[in-house]
Structure 1
Amino acid sequence: MVPVRLTGPRLAIREFHHTPEDVEALYAVFGDPEATRYLPFEARDREDCADQIEQYLEEAQQEERTVYRLAVTRLADAEDPADAVPIGNAALGLGDRRSASLGYALRRDVWGLGYAGEITELLCGLAFGALGVHRLEARVDVDNAASVRVLARAGFRPEGRNRHDVHRPGRRHDSYRYALLAEEWPGPAGR
């Protein structure tokens, strides 16, 4: 495995560690019903979060890696970003024909600080750069106006609405589908 390490102005994105700190950090996001409100799964318990990190590390070890589920940390939280406690997660799932899907989730206390935009820029850089992706897409719940704004600012274009594509107990959710092509992304310097 070649570990992923991305650095932006305020954030770093790294591989998860199977440590109590990283498990607790993932639980702070995935265990919060409000933070998972727009995600395609319900809030999880600590044990599920520990299992998730184990799965993330197994996926990272694959000979042909197709999934990148990564920890998001703040640069100001530690001298070495590898030691910082995550504030969220970022994900890229590689598809066929040089395509990928992008996602992120943050702890509720860091919402509204512009971190989702920085995560999106860093993931675009990884996807369009080192991974050679041509098309990057994102799914966003129709009620998640903040993520719609993040994607639009990053240059993603709306492509449609998926009706009832996520089922959670008691309710089916629609989502918007957004995409960005490599030639449409000017990179972080172009923004």
Structure 2
Amino acid sequence: MHPVLLTGPRLTIREFHHVPRDVDALHAIFGDPETARFLPFEPRDREDCADQVALYLEEAENTPRTVYRLAVTLTEEGEDAVPLGNAVLGVEGHPGQRAAFIGYALRRDVWGRGYATEIARLLCDFGFNTLGLHRLAARLDPQNLASARVLRKLGFQLEGRLRDDLYLRGAWHDALQYSLLEEEWPTGG
């Protein structure tokens, strides 16, 4: 595995570690019903989050690597700081297609600080400038207005609404599909 380490002005994106600190941090995000309302799954318990971290580490060993599920920490606290969020970039389809999706989630107590924009910017830079991708996509709940603002700020274009895209919590949910192409991404973000 070639570990990923992305550093921005305030945030560092790194591999998860299968240690209590990282599992607890993921649970603080995925286990919070308010945070999980915009995620494509039910809130998860701590054991599920421990299983998720183990899966992330397994996925990181795949060759070629197609999924990057990463921890987000404050740069000033050092590489091994307690994560305050997670980030994902998943390569879609055949590698020659050079397409991927991105996603991010933050602990509720750090919402509104611009961290999601920095995470998305780091993921875009990684995808286009390091992985050589042509297209990045993101799907979100139409009610997640903050995430829509983040994507638009970085130049993502709304492609459309996917009707009844996800069945969760006893109901169908639509999704908004956004995309960004490599020629639309300024070098260095």
Q: Distance in 2 between matches of 1:131 and 1:95?
A: 13
Partner in structure 1 of residue 87 of structure 2: 90
**How much has 1:130 moved relative to structure 2?**
1.2
SS in structure 1 of the partner of residue 101 of structure 2:
strand
Partner in structure 1 of residue 41 of structure 2: 41
Partner in structure 2 of residue 71 of structure 1: 71
Distance 1:21 1:109, change over 3 A: same
Gaps of 5+ in 1: none
SS in structure 1 of the partner of residue 34 of structure 2:
coil
Q: Distance in 2 between matches of 1:63 and 1:138?
A: 24
Partner in structure 1 of residue 9 of structure 2: 9
Partner in structure 1 of residue 165 of structure 2: 165
Q: Deviations over 1:130-174 (max 9, x none)?
A: 111000000010000000000000000000100111111222111
Partner in structure 2 of residue 174 of structure 1: 174
Gaps of 5+ in 2: none
Calculate percent identity across the aligned residue pairs: 62
Q: Is the 8 A contact 1:121 1:188 kept in 2?
A: no
Q: Is the 8 A contact 1:101 1:138 kept in 2?
A: yes
Q: How many residues align?
A: 186
Q: Distance in 2 between matches of 1:66 and 1:18?
A: 20
Q: Which amino acid aligns with 1:92?
A: L
Q: Is the 8 A contact 2:59 2:65 kept in 1?
A: yes
Q: Deviations over 1:32-65 (max 9, x none)?
A: 0110101100100000000000000000001110
Q: Distance in 2 between matches of 1:166 and 1:3?
A: 32
Q: Distance in 1 between matches of 2:147 and 2:46?
A: 26
Are residues 1:151 and 2:151 paired? yes
SS in structure 1 of the partner of residue 88 of structure 2:
strand
Moved over 3 A (4+): none
TM superposition score normalised by structure 2: 0.96
**How much has 1:188 moved relative to structure 2?**
4.1
Q: Distance in 2 between matches of 1:116 and 1:187?
A: 20
TM superposition score normalised by structure 1: 0.95
